[in-house]
Amino acid sequence: MTVLPNCNAQAGPEVDLHSARTTTLPADGDSLDDIVFVAFDTETTGLSPIACRLVELCAVKFRLGDGEPETFETLINPGQPIPPEVSALHGISDEMVKDAPLAGPALTRFFDWLGGSAPVLMAHNANFDVEFVKVEAMRAGLSMPQNFVLDTLVFAQNHVNDCANYKLKTLSEYFGFAGALYHRALDDSIYVEKLFRKLLERSAHKTFGELRAGGSLSVFGALPQVSGRERLSQNALAMLATLEEAIGGGGEAEVRLTYHSEFKSTRVVMPLAVIESRGSVYLNAFCKKSQAERTFRVDRIVEAILLSRKR
């Protein structure tokens, strides 16, 4: 079954992708008891944030000693079939996501749900989840949150030295709160919250500064020190300018693209977004040849010629 939305369904107004959504970030002297935390997890169609897509995003918002947690959960239509072996892992099928929102609306709702109190986000092996969310946000033209993100994997490596490994399930069993269901985003978010509480007991951290000194925190929307654009040749930068002109022109532009991957091919595409991920720059576009969204590495584009702009 192919789950394929309209190619323009996620397109939005041109915005500053790196503008801050939050301004009241925690200070080093803040007590951890006064900070809002959000444990989150994603499920996807595979391992690559460029080639694969989100299928589920869930989160748990909590304070350390204060009331009932608040939850967020949504399935996401990935716009592509979920491979059977991946579906077998997390149990999410094409049928389950066919009527779910696309990533753009789902992330908009999630970012709004985070609120203006700049909660500290956390995930286990956070780089994986953060990169998927960042790439989907760039595809949809959404600004990035600037919240701090804590990686409970790194936090555990700093404070647990007698565990068989640092998988979330193994650490859950080690600390005695293991459940029956893993690889669903809400259940894993709950495990991350419980793991964080156990690690805090072991570390004895009381302030945000003490937590930050451990090296397990980063900023969600932060770009890598070396941008992928800085690595592009002058020829690639010129083609990138053509592609960004097509995206920003206010219409559905068509570009003839010659692309050299394993083989050289020429096709007409409608550019949708430019994405930076893990030091590389990509074009996300609707391909007229395959009648589907495709992603192209900009440094492998041989030629990009603007053909027309529909208004």
The predicted-structure confidence for 78-120, as pLDDT tens digits, reads as follows 999 999 999 999 999 999 999 999 999 999 999 999 987 789 9
pLDDT one-digit tens code per residue, 148-172: 999 999 999 999 999 999 999 999 9
CA 185 to chain centre: 13
> Cβ distance 24 to 153 under 8 Å?
no
Q: Which of 90, 124, 183, 205 is catalytic?
A: 183
- Indicate if the alpha-carbon torsion angle 176, 202, 69, 190 is positive or negative: negative
Report the alpha-carbon distance of residue 129 to residue 220 in Å, rounded: 10
Residues 6+ apart with CB under 8 A from 309: 246, 249, 251, 252, 253, 254
**pLDDT at residue number 278:** 82
User: Which strands sit side by side in the sheet containing 292-297, from one edge to the other?
Assistant: 292-297, 280-287, 264-277, 252-260, 301-310
What local confidence, expressed as pLDDT, does residue 13 receive? 33
Report the alpha-carbon distance of residue 38 to residue 59 in Å, rounded.
Answer: 6
Locate CATH 2.30.30.520 in the chain: 228-310
CATH 3.30.420.10 domain extents, the chain? 32-219
Architecture of domain 228-310: Roll (2.30)
| Cα–Cα nearest to 283, from 225, 244, 231, 233 | 244
In whole angstroms, give the CA distance from residue 153 to residue 146.
Answer: 21
DSSP per position, 206-249:
-BHHHHHHTT-EEETTPPPSS-GGGGS-HHHHHHHHHHHHHHHT
Apex CA 59: angle with CA 214 and CA 284, to 5°? 90
Residue 237 has a pLDDT of 93
Q: Could you tell me if 128 and 37 are in contact, meaning their C-beta atoms sit under 8 angstroms apart?
A: no
Identity of residue 269: V
What pLDDT, on a 0 to 100 scale, did the predictor assign at position 21?
A: 55
Is 183 a residue of the active site?
A: yes
pLDDT in the model for residue 151: 96
Query: pLDDT below 70 — which residues of the chain?
Result: 1-23, 223-226, 250-251, 309-311
Architecture of the domain defined by 32-219: 2-Layer Sandwich (3.30)
